[in-house]
């Protein structure tokens, strides 16, 4: 793995015990994510994408192999990692501001400084006026914005995102995709992003990793050579369309035949 890698996933396998025997979720999965890189992972339902994210987040331990983050094996949750899931899971009895401050309290950070950062992050995601509101008073898109601010409040170097926009309507999802790109470009953070959406992956990413059907392995590692910042006009370009079509074709050909396909690295559109 490269010396500039912040994350190295090395030979990770994961098996779960079930009533009718063992379920192999991941098999010898290996890839790296460089510092400051935005990498998306796509694959069919049940291929182990969320399991991979939980391993990298330190929420579960792999059956074999390891994830190494900033030179240290991941053995549990870490302060240098921020996580956001498909549902923001906000505490309904706490205000928006207090929800954003949860990681700062858990990590026992200086709360005066954390409040200033939380307020700035709420402004960044256009929720400054809603700091004292409660989650039940917000739309789904607004709640997900709170989740983004909460992920960033303790200033983690590495961001893990598990289909954060999947439950949103198309217009809100598009808006938050643009917002996320702006946050990433402005922060220089490293992102591992799980998604089912090929256009979303192409729009946001420096690279797209395609996983096989269960047990999940790396089928392709595709470089996305599109200029930044990317705009809605980017989505209408021929190069963008070609990248999406190529990934879609490969996905349809390989997603259900992971055990028959050897891993490869491929650059498309470069």
Q: How far is CA 218 from the centre of its chain?
A: 16
Mean confidence (pLDDT) of the chain: 89
Model's pTM, two decimal places? 0.88
pLDDT given for residue 209 in this prediction: 96
Average pLDDT estimate for 132-147: 93
What CA–CA distance (Å, rounded) separates 159 from 151? Answer: 8
pLDDT digits (tens, 9 = 90+) for 210-244: 998 888 999 999 999 999 999 999 999 999 999 99
Q: Where are the domains of the chain?
A: 5-80+157-268, 89-156
Q: How sure is the predictor about 264, in pLDDT bands with cuts at 50, 70 and 90?
A: very low
Distance (Å) of CA 108 to CA 44, 104, 124: 39, 6, 24
pLDDT digits (tens, 9 = 90+) for 4-17: 899 999 999 999 88
pLDDT given for residue 214 in this prediction: 86
| Proportion of the chain above pLDDT 70, given as a percent | 93
What CA–CA distance (Å, rounded) separates 128 from 247? Answer: 38
The superfamily CATH assigns to domain 5-80+157-268 is: P-loop containing nucleotide triphosphate hydrolases (3.40.50.300)
pLDDT given for residue 244 in this prediction: 95
pLDDT digits (tens, 9 = 90+) for 39-84: 999 988 888 899 999 999 999 999 999 999 999 999 999 999 999 9
Tokens of 88: 């923001």
Report the candidate in 250, 251, 222, 261 with the shortest Cα–Cα distance to residue 45. 251
pLDDT given for residue 250 in this prediction: 85
pLDDT given for residue 257 in this prediction: 52
Is the pLDDT reported for residue 203 higher than 80?
yes
């Amino acid at each position: 793995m490269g010396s500039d890698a912040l994350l190295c996933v090395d030979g990770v396998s994961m098996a779960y015990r079930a009533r009718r025997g063992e379920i192999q979720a991941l098999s010898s999965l290996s890839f790296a994510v460089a510092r400051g890189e935005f990498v998306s992972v796509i694959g069919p339902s049940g291929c182990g994408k969320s399991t991979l994210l939980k391993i990298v987040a330190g929420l579960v331990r792999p059956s074999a192999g390891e994830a190494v983050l900033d030179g240290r094996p991941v053995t549990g949750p870490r302060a240098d990692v921020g996580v956001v899931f498909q549902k923001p899971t906000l505490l309904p009895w706490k205000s928006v501001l207090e929800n954003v401050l949860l990681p700062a309290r858990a990590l026992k950070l200086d709360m005066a400084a954390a409040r200033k950062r939380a307020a700035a992050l709420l402004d960044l995601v256009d929720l400054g006026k809603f700091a004292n509101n409660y989650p039940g008073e917000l739309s789904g898109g607004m709640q997900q914005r709170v989740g983004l601010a909460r992920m960033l409040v303790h200033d983690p170097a590495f961001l893990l995102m598990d289909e954060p926009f999947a439950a949103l309507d198309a217009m809100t999802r598009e808006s938050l995709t643009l917002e996320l790109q702006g946050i990433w470009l402005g922060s220089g953070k490293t992102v591992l992003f799980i998604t089912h959406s090929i256009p979303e992956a192409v729009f946001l990413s420096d690279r797209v990793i395609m996983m096989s059907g269960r047990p999940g392995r790396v089928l392709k590692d595709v470089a996305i050579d599109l200029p930044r910042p990317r705009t809605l006009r980017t989505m209408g370009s021929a190069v963008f369309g070609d990248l999406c079509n190529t990934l879609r074709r490969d996905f349809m050909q390989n997603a259900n035949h992971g055990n028959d396909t050897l891993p490869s690295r491929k650059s498309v559109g470069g």
